[in-house]
A and B are shown apart, each in its own frame.
Chain A
Amino acid sequence: MATRYYILILTVASTALMIITPKAYWFLGYGSVLALIGSALAFGSVSALVAARGLYFLAHVTPHSALLAVPTAFLVSLWLGGGQGLIAALVTLALLLAAGYAIGRGVGGDVAASLLASFTASSSAIVLYEAQKRLGAASVSSLILGDPLLVGLSEGAIGLALGLTVFLISLSIAREVFYIGLSRELAAVDGLKVEVYDYTLYTLIALTTVVMLGIVGFLVASVLILLPGAIASLFSRGSIETLLASIAVALAASALGLIGGLALNITPSGVIGFTLVVLYASLKVFRVG
């Protein structure tokens, strides 16, 4: 029980510190803070649903799809025109829905995720090489490492808007998704249209990952989509509490990542991921959950 309150205090304190951080660093704008709050809202929400459905492996390979989609969108827009963001979102969504369709047709979740990872990793090697020739190595490395410090105010506002949207949709489907997580078959017998919830969840995972890739980077996106939900599942009761706890954990990690990254002069995305790993390991060591 006490774990909930410790997490709440940690989240409130670290978020408050994050909000006042731009006053201490002249180069840091509020765009970064908004983007990190949006990222925590989106990843925290999706991560709780991923944990409830046990879709860890599929969620883990989604950033691979986004890593393929973003440079692909750049190259496609160079050749054919069109908005890069929209193309990247559509490519990621198409890949994830294809994997979801395969799972729905009886292919095991791990097998579908393995195929997706193999396809996207191989394709990414080719596409990233082409993109690097046209964009330069710095742009490609920012996709992989992420850099929340470079986010402008308008991008941060978009990130926050996406975070709020993903949170509200997740909130509206959380109970059903957690219920499906216990038994997909039973949920179908009860009359729930499980495919609708499956594809909504896949869409949320794809959108969150592709939009947030530039903020937290490919590497940390993989961690943020998995660990907040897994951590919240250790001590929460009920779907809504788990969702909110997952967001609180993601928010605390993002705030500590930003503050720690600035203090230590290292990339905040790395500190975000590391904070989550330490938090999960600590809770397991102290046998919470």
Chain B
Amino acid sequence: MSSVRQHANTINVRVESVHVYYGPVKALEDVSLELGGPGIVQVLGPNGAGKSTLFKVIAGIIRPSLGRVYINGVEVTGNPGVTGRFVAYMPQSNEPPKWSTLTVWEYVETAASIKTLKWPRLRPLKVRDVVEKCLNTVGLPKSLWGVRLSELSGGSYQRAILARTLIGGASAILLDEPLASVDPEGRVSLAEILASLAREKLIVVSSHDPHPLLEYTKLVILLNRRLIAMGDADSVLRAYTPQALYPRWVAEHGH
């Protein structure tokens, strides 16, 4: 890999003392971490641990009550427009939206137009090759490109929104529970796609189940409103799970 290529795909995400409050509820408390790419990072934690909130803070969608976020040294706190230059974000979404008439192709093409063309974006032909490449990368068959998003299965829908995150060549992709609504066979296939993307990008994935991506994971973060642990998968998972994340369950079941 050339030094230029390395520079283009290297990213540093720094979260500094982030607190997020939803009214009286603490969603995140004094979370600080630093991530570098490429590679896969898994963020694990129970429901309500603040995984989605952490992703939204990094993506700039939520401005933290306290704390700062830096990407490659640039402060991006609460600024999704700037964050979007470095980071693509895929929210947690288990079902395709029933009301939307957007097709798979138009969805990805619109994302590409927004990122590369100026309004009124009358030349979508210019982004055709990029759209095709992204859809092929995520393994969506051509027969589904003209289908409405609302008509896709859960797994195909996840692939379509993953294709959208590949537009624009962001150096990092935040994926909030991307395997949640995918069948076991689809999980393996999607995990392989993510592993292949992680050769060049920082892929941050939240999950309840680390196993499908475990063999490709370089770093595991345990989160339960606070940062519980961070390190390589083997040491973190042996040392901390499940006591740190599921204390009530452990107390009741004795393990």
Question: Given contacts A189-B89, A191-B81, A237-B146, is CB(A179)–CB(B102) below 8 Å?
Answer: yes
B80 at the interface (CB under 8 A from A): yes
Majority-rule SS of B interface residues: mixed
Among A51, A186, A192, A239, point to the contact of B91 (Cβ < 8 A): A186
B81 touches A182 (CB 8 A): no
Q: Does A172 contact B (CB under 8 A)?
A: yes
How many A-B residue contacts, CB cutoff 8 Å? 81
B233 CB to nearest A CB, Å: 28
Min Cβ gap B47→A in Å is 20
**Other-chain residue from B103, B115, B121 in contact with A191 (beta carbon distance below 8 A):** B115
What's the tally of chain A residues with a CB closer than 8 Å to chain B? 27
| Residues of chain B in range 90-105 having any CB-CB distance to chain A below 8 Å | 91, 97, 99-103
Complex alpha-carbon distance, A190 and B115, angstroms: 7
B80 contacts across to A, CB distance below 8 A = 185, 188-189
Interface residues of B in 113-133 (CB under 8 A from A): 113-115, 120-121
CB–CB B114/A185 < 8 A: no
Contact A189 B83 (CB under 8 A): yes
Nearest B residue to A183 by beta-carbon distance?
Answer: B91
Instruction: Tell me how many residues of B have a C-beta within 8 Å of chain A.
Output: 33
Chain B residue at minimal CB-CB distance from A54: B99
Q: Taking A175-B106, A179-B110 as contacts, is the C-beta distance between A189 and B101 under 8 angstroms?
A: no
Contact among A51, A172, A188 for B120, CB-based, below 8 A: A172
Chain A, residues 47-89, CB within 8 Å of chain B (1/0): the string is 0000110100000000000000000000000000000000000
Q: How far is the CB of A180 from chain B (nearest CB, A)?
A: 10
- Whether, in the assembled complex, A110 has its beta carbon less than 8 Å from a beta carbon of chain B, the answer is no
Interface centre among A51, A175, A241 (most CB of B within 10 A): A175
Indicate whether A236 reaches chain B with its CB closer than 8 angstroms: yes
* Residues of chain A lying within 8 A (CB to CB) of residue B91: 183, 185-186
17 A-B residue pairs with Cβ-Cβ distance under 8 Å, sorted by A, are A52-B99, A52-B100, A175-B110, A175-B113, A175-B121, A178-B110, A179-B102, A185-B59, A185-B91, A187-B114, A188-B61, A189-B60, A191-B84, A191-B114, A237-B101, A239-B106, A241-B101
Q: List the 3 closest A-B pairs by CB distance, nearest first.
A: A189-B80, A188-B80, A242-B101
B interface residues with partner A (beta carbon < 8 Å): 56, 59-61, 80-81, 83-85, 87-89, 91, 97, 99-103, 106-107, 110-111, 113-115, 120-121, 146, 148-149, 164, 168
